[in-house]
Structure 1
Amino acid sequence: MTEHDPDEVVDAELIDDSRLPAHRETHSPVVRSPEDDPDAWLSDQAREDVKAGIADGTRDGYKGDMERFAAWCTSAGRRPMPAAPQTVTEYLSYLKRTPRPRTNKPYGPNSMDRIIAAIRSAHRAAGHEPPDTMGARKVVLGYRAELSERKDPAAKPLKATPADRTVLRRALTELNRTTLAGQRDAALMLLGHALASRGSELVPLNVPDSFTDLPDGGFRVAVYRKKRKCWQDVTVVLDPDPDLCAVRAVRQLVTTLADNGHHTGPLFLRMDRWGYLAPPMHRNGQPIGDPTGRMTEEAASDIVQRSIERTGLPGRWRSHSSRRGFVKSARQAGVDIVQIGRHGGWDDKSKALIGYIDEEDAQGDNNPLAQIGRKAAEDDVAG
């Protein structure tokens, strides 16, 4: 599964074809068993419509989680669906104590939360009432408490480190912005910060279709906010610091791409080590990758990670670092939380955004104690 920040994983209504009734005729429902609700079935079209509303990474991750749960149930002589609450509790207890082959460590609490969500979603998709998971969640709660007491890093969510303007400035000094690769990497990081975008929202951008020039010198970018399933027009203005200006960086990249014969299509293209654009890729003799040369979300994360790690700054750097960095930069500048959220495409009641804001406020001038101290000092002066 592609690695996601916690706010990227949702309890989606997954559709598992193997657990839904097949259809001999387009309009004839097939009931799975006499005790089933005769209306508890979906047409092929409805299954596809539901799938279209689920992020690929979430769907793939949940599918893998459910496959592993079903395999464990088989080995334990238990029924995977409809699963008894005790079965889910037993499985989570097993995961807590069993090292994974790839890491030689058990799942962390956050992954276990996702697994519970996957099991519940698979049940709903198959027309079953989701099992009561209170016992399973108590297992995870106790596990998280144990890890926290031991100060184990696994107790904390894996979050991307915010790449604010200070971090970006240092990372950009490590790039050779006279080269096409350097211009691409600079534009990717700066535009990701300016749009507060996820990597999955950044790599689909096209030239010239995604951009509209504005009279003040900036541009408007049409961004598809994947989590909210809606388009947003985001205004990006000229930055007073040319080195940190997303508008200038993007325009320089577009000009250089045009000089290399690329006038339309993906803004962010893959390159090989020699700087060739959109090189063909093959695996086992078969072509792979986007035929237009569009970069993948994983490649965008690699660029952010590689660029910032060159500075020696510690952290967990991903494409999501630009999105979190925007929040940090905006909050440091005193921008209101509502404006931050609406610019970055967060819901007004987004728990993820509130969490980011709380983290930033705890470390800066908006810390409640710092504000109390300032107010007390002002009162002393006035008195």
Structure 2
Amino acid sequence: MDAGTSEFAVPDGGDVVEAELVDDRPPGTELAPVDRDRHLSPETAAAIAASVASSTRRAYGADREAFAAWCATEGRTFVPASAETMAEWVRHLTVTPRPRTGRPAGPSTIERALSAVTSWHEERSRPKPTMRGARAVLNAYKDRLAQEKAAAAQPKQATAALPAQIRAMLAGVDRATLAGQRNAALVLLGFATAARVSELAALDLAAVVETEHGYDVTLYRKKVRKHTKNAILYGTDPATCPVRALRAYLAALAAAGRTEGPLFVRVDRWDRLASAMTRGGRTIGDPAGRMTAEAAAEVIERLAVAAGLTGDWSGHSLRRGFATAARAAGHDPLEIARAGGWSDGSRVLARYIGLGEHRYSGYR
């Protein structure tokens, strides 16, 4: 799908033969499990961990640490956890205020914490705890929140960055600076490709190819484990044209001596390419200066706040905005899913475009 056609470059069965299983092992040989059968090398463990998004790993780590601490306080075993322990823990989460918000965790946060603990059991080759009691407690909590019409009863969603909001976000960006050119390119490319901030941060200059229609940008969509090539088209308004913004940023990078490596890089307070970060004499972060996903999300949040926009702004705002605006413009949901790297039948995408049909029809 061309997201930028508007103002914003948005076997036959055979015979079954019965056979006798024959044990062809030498006499006296036994197939008994040994310790090595349960052993994972550090390299394989790291490969398994790498299959999960870094943000999810951090969240799971915090959830597991909190669960282990609660179990220690209560004199309970955290792995393997009993069904009773899981039910009591969920009840604890539904009534205990969190330091940051002063309110108990919401249902989605508790769902994530349950996933963190059950997957912990799998990683330790232990049977997952029975969750019937825990689920009953959580369902009762959801019912109570719904009856109270509490905000926590509603799934938390990022505010959609739609064309009008993006225009406002970019109005105050100084395009004469390297940082301003980077931020404009990040926002407009993020919208045009419906990219997650982690996908934007992972882009290299080699993934951006200039074409007659503008650019082709190849992103790796980690959630579906596929590469997608997205056509970036010219927009009718130069101020919000992703092709022009990307071209200006690439020229600025080249002028600064950067023609390979990461696309989106850190810029220091003097508007220069930031040097490698060090701590205790050791390099930390990406030595080539690649922005982190968190830093990219912060750019979006900061621009929205500076523009005086209200709502819950995050790195996901651009992705949601693309889906909402594309559906409002009449694009087929399957086209939107393929262009943005959503899995077929994605419930998240269905929620986004369901809103688009009713609330945002004015942005056609």
Change (3 A) 1:316 1:283: farther
Indicate yes or no: 2:244 matched with 1:239: no
Alignment RMSD (CA, Å): 2.1
Indicate yes or no: 2:204 matched with 1:211: no
Look up the SS of the partner of 2:35 in the other structure: coil
2:49 alignment partner, one of 48, 51, 71:
51
Instruction: Indicate if the aligned counterparts of 1:205 and 1:268 stay in contact, CA closer than 8 A.
Output: yes
Deviation, 1:83, is 1.2
> Percent of aligned pairs with the same residue?
42
Deviation, 1:273, is 2.0
Query: Mean alpha-carbon deviation: is it higher for 274-283 or for 322-331?
Result: 274-283
Indicate yes or no: 2:357 matched with 1:361: yes
Deviation, 1:365, is 4.7
> What residue is the counterpart of 1:198 in the other structure?
196
Instruction: Indicate if the aligned counterparts of 2:325 and 2:356 stay in contact, CA closer than 8 A.
Output: no
Look up the SS of the partner of 2:348 in the other structure: helix
AA matched with 1:76:
E
Deviation, 1:364, is 4.4
Deviation, 1:253, is 0.3
> What residue is the counterpart of 1:323 in the other structure?
319
Indicate yes or no: 2:301 matched with 1:296: no
Look up the SS of the partner of 1:295 in the other structure: coil
Change (3 A) 1:317 1:102: closer
Larger relative contact order (C-alpha < 8 A, sep ≥ 6)? 2
Change (3 A) 1:272 1:46: closer
Deviation, 1:29, is 4.0
TM-score (norm 1): 0.81
Between the aligned partners of 1:119 and 1:360, the Cα distance in structure 2 is 36
Unaligned runs of 5+ in 1: 1-27, 32-38, 367-383
AA matched with 2:311:
G
> What residue is the counterpart of 1:370 in the other structure?
none
Look up the SS of the partner of 2:272 in the other structure: coil
1:343-362 matches, within 5 Å, as: 343-362=339-358
Indicate yes or no: 2:121 matched with 1:116: no
The C-alpha deviation readout for 1:47-91, integer Å capped at 9, x for no partner, is 333223222221222122122212211221222122111110001
AA matched with 2:110:
M
1:363-378 matches, within 5 Å, as: 363-365=359-361
Between the aligned partners of 2:42 and 2:175, the Cα distance in structure 1 is 50
TM-score (norm 2): 0.85
1:259 alignment partner, one of 252, 255, 258:
255
Change (3 A) 1:43 1:258: closer
> What residue is the counterpart of 1:83 in the other structure?
81
Deviation, 1:337, is 0.5
Q: Which runs of 4+ in 1 moved over 6 A?
A: none
> What residue is the counterpart of 1:30 in the other structure?
35
Query: Mean alpha-carbon deviation: is it higher for 242-251 or for 101-110?
Result: 101-110
Change (3 A) 1:131 1:187: same
Deviation, 1:282, is 4.0
Between the aligned partners of 2:34 and 2:322, the Cα distance in structure 1 is 50
Look up the SS of the partner of 1:79 in the other structure: coil
The C-alpha deviation readout for 1:203-262, integer Å capped at 9, x for no partner, is 12122x111222x33221110111122222212122222222111111110001111222
Change (3 A) 1:87 1:190: same
Deviation, 1:303, is 0.7
The C-alpha deviation readout for 1:111-159, integer Å capped at 9, x for no partner, is 1010111111111121122112122122222222322333332222222
Look up the SS of the partner of 1:266 in the other structure: coil
